Amino acid sequence: MLNIALFGPPGAGKGTQSKLLLEKFNLTYISTGDMLREEIARETPLGKEAREIIDRGGLVPDEIIVQIIEKKVIMNLDSRGILFDGFPRTVVQAYILEGLLLKLNSSLTCMLSLEVPNDELVTRMLERSKTSGRADDNLEVIKVRMQEYENKTKPVIDFYRAKGNYYPINGVGSVEEIFEQLCRTIDSTMKQDYFNVVLLGKPGSGKGTQGEILARNNDLVYISTGKLLRKEIAAGTDLGMAAKPYLERGEIAPDEIAIKLIERQIERNPSASGFIFKGFPRTIVQAYILDGLLRKINSKVSLMLNLRLSTLDAMKRLNDRSKTERKRVYDTSTELILNRLEEYEKKTKPVIEYYKKQSIFFEIDGAGTEDEVNSRLQEAIKKGVRQMRTGD
C-alpha cells in the first residue's frame, strides 16, 4: 500500500494538494474533519456521540476518530493506499496510526510536511476569509490555531523524522510547483513498496499467457526465466549456451543462471510497482533464492498463485502447442513432456507447501477459456490484497 500523511499548518494548502494527489495515485482520502461532519450529518451512532461531545464544548476523543477512520479504510480495501489529511495531529495519534496500519499489514510510506512561513500563512488565511465564509478565518482564531499547531502537532514531525520517513516540502510557490515536489518525493519512496506475485502450475497450465495478462492488468513487470533464457540462447550468449542443454532435456537450468537473469530484470526496472514471477521458483532452494533476491530491495513475495490442471489436460495442451509456432523443443516428445511433469511433481510441489505455510497461497482452476481463467486469477489477487490488509 502507498500510505501518505499530508502534514502542515493551517493555510499550508493541504486541501488543494490532497485533491491532486488523490487523482494521480488513486488513494482513499482520510480527512477526519470531513468524516466527522459526514457522520454527524448522517446521524450515525458515531456521529450522534460526536455531536453530543461537541455541543458540550468538548473535543472528539481519539477513540471515536479511530473508529471513523477504520470504518472508511475497511470500505475501501481495493484502493492503492490511503492519504491522511490532518491526521495524525498529535504524537498519541501518530502511535494510533502505526497500530491501525499494522492491523492492515502495512505502514506509513511517507509523511510529507508542507513548510510555509508564519506571515505567509496568516496572509493566505486572511485572503481566504474574503471568500470562504469560514468563521475560523479571522486573525484572532488564526493565531489560536497556529499556536495549537506549534504546541501539539509540530512534535509529530520529530516522531516521523526519527522513523526516517519525514519529508519537508517547500509550500511556497505555485500549486503546480508544489505538486511536482510532492510527486517527486513520493516516487522516490515508492521504490520499496513492491507487490510481488509468484505464478506456478504444471507445464501446460497456461502460466505464460496468464502471467503476461496479469502483469499488464496490475501494472507489474513480468519475469519469466524460461522466456529470458530462450532470448539468451537465440542471441548465443554465454548464459544461453550454458542453459541450452538443460532446456532441451526439459530440465531446470542451474540456479546461478536464473539469479543473474532475475537480478538483471529487477535492476532494469527500478520504478516498478512490483513483479510477477512466472515459473520461478520451481524448487524449494529457488524459493529461498527468490526471498533473498527480494530482500535486497527490501521486499518479499506478496502472493503465490497456483494454476491447478489435471495431468491429462496438461499433456493435451502441450501436445497442441507442439503443432503451433509457439512450440518449445521439449513439446515435441512425449518422453520430454512426461519428464517435465515428473520434475514438477518431485521438485515444485514442495514449493507450494512452502508458500501455504506463509498464508499467501491461492489455488485457481486452470481449466476453461483464457478469459475465464484470467477472471479467476484477478479475483484471487483481489482477495489476496484484501487478506493482506485485514489479516483475515
Per-residue pLDDT tens digits for 44-90: 888 888 888 877 766 688 888 888 888 887 777 667 789 998 789 88
For the ranges 105-119, 123-137, 219-233, the lowest mean pLDDT is seen at: 123-137
pTM value is 0.55
For the ranges 16-30, 155-169, 274-288, 327-341, the lowest mean pLDDT is seen at: 327-341
Instruction: Give CA angle at 188 (105, 271), nearest 5°.
Output: 85
pLDDT beyond 60 at 155: yes
Q: So what's the pLDDT on residue 323?
A: 78
pLDDT beyond 70 at 359: yes
SS3 of 109, please? coil
Q: So what's the pLDDT on residue 83?
A: 94
For the ranges 16-20, 129-133, 346-350, 373-377, the lowest mean pLDDT is seen at: 129-133
Q: So what's the pLDDT on residue 78?
A: 65
Q: What is the DSSP string of 168-224?
A: EEE--S-HHHHHHHHHHHHHHHGGG----EEEEESTTSSHHHHHHHHHHHTT-EEEE
Q: So what's the pLDDT on residue 292?
A: 93
Q: How far apart are CA 53 and CA 64, in angstroms?
A: 11
Average pLDDT over residues 156-174: 91
Q: How far apart are CA 135 and CA 121, in angstroms?
A: 17
* Contact residues for 182 (Cβ-Cβ < 8 A; gap 6+): 17, 21, 112, 169
Q: How far apart are CA 12 and CA 367, in angstroms?
A: 56
When the pLDDT of each residue in the chain is averaged and rounded to a whole number, the result is: 85
pLDDT beyond 70 at 392: no
Q: What percent of the chain has pLDDT over 70?
A: 92
How far CA 312 is from CA of 203, 323, 347, 385, in Å, comes to: 11, 17, 19, 32
Q: So what's the pLDDT on residue 329?
A: 62
pLDDT beyond 80 at 193: no
pLDDT beyond 70 at 132: no
Pairing of strands 221-224, 275-278: parallel
Cell 533464492 belongs to which residue?
289
Q: Cβ distance 217 to 229 under 8 Å?
A: no
Q: So what's the pLDDT on residue 247?
A: 81
C-alpha cell at 225: 526465466
Q: Cβ distance 83 to 27 under 8 Å?
A: yes
Q: How far apart are CA 225 and CA 230, in angstroms?
A: 9
Average pLDDT over residues 254-265: 92
At residue 339 the predicted structure's pLDDT band, cuts being 50, 70 and 90, is confident
Summarised one tens digit per residue, pLDDT across range 198-228 is 999 888 888 989 999 999 999 899 999 988 9
pLDDT beyond 80 at 192: no
Q: So what's the pLDDT on residue 6?
A: 93
Phi/psi at 305 (nearest 5 deg)? -110, 125
Q: So what's the pLDDT on residue 172?
A: 92
SS3 of 326, please? coil
At residue 288 the predicted structure's pLDDT band, cuts being 50, 70 and 90, is very high
pLDDT beyond 80 at 142: no
Phi/psi at 279 (nearest 5 deg)? 75, 10
Q: Which domains does the chain have, with CATH numbers?
A: 2-27+79-192 (3.40.50.300), 197-390 (3.40.50.300)
pLDDT beyond 90 at 371: yes
pLDDT beyond 80 at 153: no
How far CA 379 is from CA of 267, 353, 355, in Å, comes to: 30, 22, 19
SS3 of 303, please? strand
pLDDT beyond 90 at 146: no
Give the closest residue to 365 by CA, choosing from 197, 222, 201: 201
Q: How many CB atoms lie within 10 A of CB 235?
A: 10
Q: So what's the pLDDT on residue 221?
A: 95
Q: So what's the pLDDT on residue 203?
A: 83
Q: So what's the pLDDT on residue 204?
A: 83
Q: So what's the pLDDT on residue 391?
A: 52
At residue 140 the predicted structure's pLDDT band, cuts being 50, 70 and 90, is confident
